[in-house]
């Protein structure tokens, strides 16, 4: 049986028979596998400590040191190595003992090259599967660590978003407070500056023809200053002319009457009414503009 040539694979042969070691080295060489040989078992520990081997081909019965004594040391120093024992005495108890100590397989001497090839191939294949498993497990552990890191990052981002939301809530409250303060200032200016001016105009004999508008304006401003919420929104949206027309609409004047009062054409009044609807977002033509203005200016 041929073994795929894998230059990175290394085998250590441990046997006190020099001729067998040479023969095995040549065989491994034809398979494209580098094989080192040791005939003195006491050198094995230092050898495996310095060089990682895929397979250790180990003779069990040697005069200087038993292969059984070497197995635990090899397993400790090279836990990934596959140990294949060779014995000229096929003792079942010894084989079972060796397998329990972590040996991958055993071969009887004289070693049949076909059987050796098959055993070595199985050992390398088993080793590859174990290595792939370890790498997969390592990748999974790394993925788990990455997920935990992402989880921690997401938790930190969530905390930052919560803090940002709190900050925005505070900002919104501050803006609302500022808006109310601005409304108060507007009310104060209307009451202290604008209303007295309009009242003065009411008393001017030359402006008697505008008495109705001035009375209406005074009334609207008094309503507005008593509750500015709806009025302020409308006043800020509209131009002075549009606000005046809106006040006249709310006062019950028709477009023709408004045109006559302001000395403008009915078409211009119609354009102003469209602009007022647009700016106040009154898109539904079924909504009566007079009723809408009354509800808004009465909501403050």
Q: Domain range spanning residue 132?
A: 10-136
Give yes or no: residues 20 and 109 share one domain. Answer: yes
Total number of domains in the chain: 2
**pTM given for the model:** 0.48
CATH number for position 131: 3.40.50.2300
How deeply is 233 buried, as exposed, middle or buried, from its count of CB atoms within 10 A (0-12, 13-18, 19+)?
middle
Whether residue 105 is found in the same domain as residue 215? no
* Residue 86 within any structural domain of the chain: yes
Q: 198 and 217 in contact (C-beta within 8 Å)?
A: yes
Distance between CA atoms of residues 231 and 191, nearest Å: 14
**Residue 148 belongs to a domain:** no
Asked if residue 15 is part of any domain, the answer here is yes
Q: Can you give the pLDDT at residue 55?
A: 94
Instruction: Give the list of residues 6+ apart from residue 236 with CB closer than 8 angstroms, or none.
Output: none
> Domain for residue 33, yes or no?
yes
φ, ψ for residue 14, nearest 5 deg: -120, 110
Tell me how far apart the alpha carbons of residues 154 and 148 are, in angstroms, rounded to a whole number. 10
Q: How confident is the model at residue 299 (pLDDT cuts 50, 70, 90)?
A: very low
Evaluate whether residue 179 is within a structural domain: no
Task: Among 136, 160, 178, identify where a domain stops.
Answer: 136
- Token pair belonging to 4: 């795929």
**In the Cβ-directed half-sphere of 2, how many Cα atoms lie within 13 Å?**
5
Q: 247 vs 34, which has greater pLDDT?
A: 34
Residue after which a domain boundary falls, among 136, 168, 189: 136
Q: Is residue 154 part of a domain?
A: no
Assess whether 15 and 129 both reside in one domain.
yes
Residues 131 and 211 in one domain: no
State the Cα–Cα distance between residues 159 and 165, nearest whole angstrom. Answer: 10
> Is 198 within the bounds of a domain?
no
Q: Find out whether 202 and 218 touch, Cβ atoms under 8 Å.
A: yes
- Indicate the Cα dihedral angle 42, 44, 45, 48, nearest 10°: 170
The answer on 26 and 124 residing in a single domain is yes
What number of H helices and E strands is found in the chain? Answer: 12, 5
Token pair 């050796």: residue = 116
52 confidence band (pLDDT: 50, 70, 90)? confident
In a domain, 229, yes or no: yes
Interval 195-231: pLDDT, tens: 778 777 878 888 778 777 777 777 777 666 554 445 5
Q: Which residue, 136, 158, 183, sits at the end of a domain?
A: 136
Sheet order of strands, 10-14 included: 34-38, 10-14, 55-59, 82-87, 105-108
Rounded Cα distance between 268 and 259, Å, is 8
Whether residues 128 and 17 fall in one domain: yes
| Mean pLDDT confidence for 118-132 | 91
Computed on alpha carbons and rounded to an integer, the radius of gyration of the chain in Å comes to 50
Shared domain check, 130 and 243 = no
Tens digits of residue pLDDT in 157-204 = 788 878 887 887 887 777 777 766 776 677 666 766 777 787 778 788
Three-state DSSP state, 37: strand
């Amino acid at each position: 049986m041929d073994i795929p040539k894998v230059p990175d694979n290394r085998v250590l042969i441990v046997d006190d028979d020099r001729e067998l070691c040479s023969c095995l080295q040549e065989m491994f060489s034809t398979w494209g596998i580098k094989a080192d040989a040791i005939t003195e078992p006491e050198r094995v520990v230092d050898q495996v400590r310095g060089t990682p081997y895929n397979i250790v081909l180990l003779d069990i019965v040697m005069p200087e040191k038993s292969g059984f004594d070497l197995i635990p040391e090899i397993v400790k120093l090279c836990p990934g190595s596959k140990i294949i024992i060779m014995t000229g005495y096929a003792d079942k108890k010894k084989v079972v003992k060796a397998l329990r100590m972590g040996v991958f397989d055993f071969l009887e001497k004289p070693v049949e090259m076909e059987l050796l090839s098959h055993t070595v191939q199985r050992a390398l294949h088993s080793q590859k599967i174990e290595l792939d498993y370890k790498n997969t497990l390592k990748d999974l552990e790394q993925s788990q660590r990455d997920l935990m890191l992402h989880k921690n990052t997401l938790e930190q981002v969530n905390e930052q978003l919560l803090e940002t939301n709190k900050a925005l809530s505070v900002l919104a409250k501050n803006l609302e407070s500022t808006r109310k303060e601005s409304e108060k200032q507007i009310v104060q200016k209307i009451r202290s500056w604008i209303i007295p001016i309009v009242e003065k105009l009411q008393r001017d004999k030359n402006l008697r023809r505008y008495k109705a508008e001035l009375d209406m304006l005074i009334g609207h401003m008094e309503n507005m200053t008593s509750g500015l919420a709806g009025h302020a929104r409308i006043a800020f949206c509209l131009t002075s002319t549009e606000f005046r027309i809106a006040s006249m609409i709310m006062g019950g004047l028709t477009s023709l009457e408004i045109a006559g009062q302001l000395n403008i054409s009915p078409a211009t009044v119609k354009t102003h009414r469209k602009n007022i609807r647009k700016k106040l977002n009154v898109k539904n033509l079924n909504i009566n503009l007079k009723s809408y203005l009354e509800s808004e200016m009465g909501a403050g």
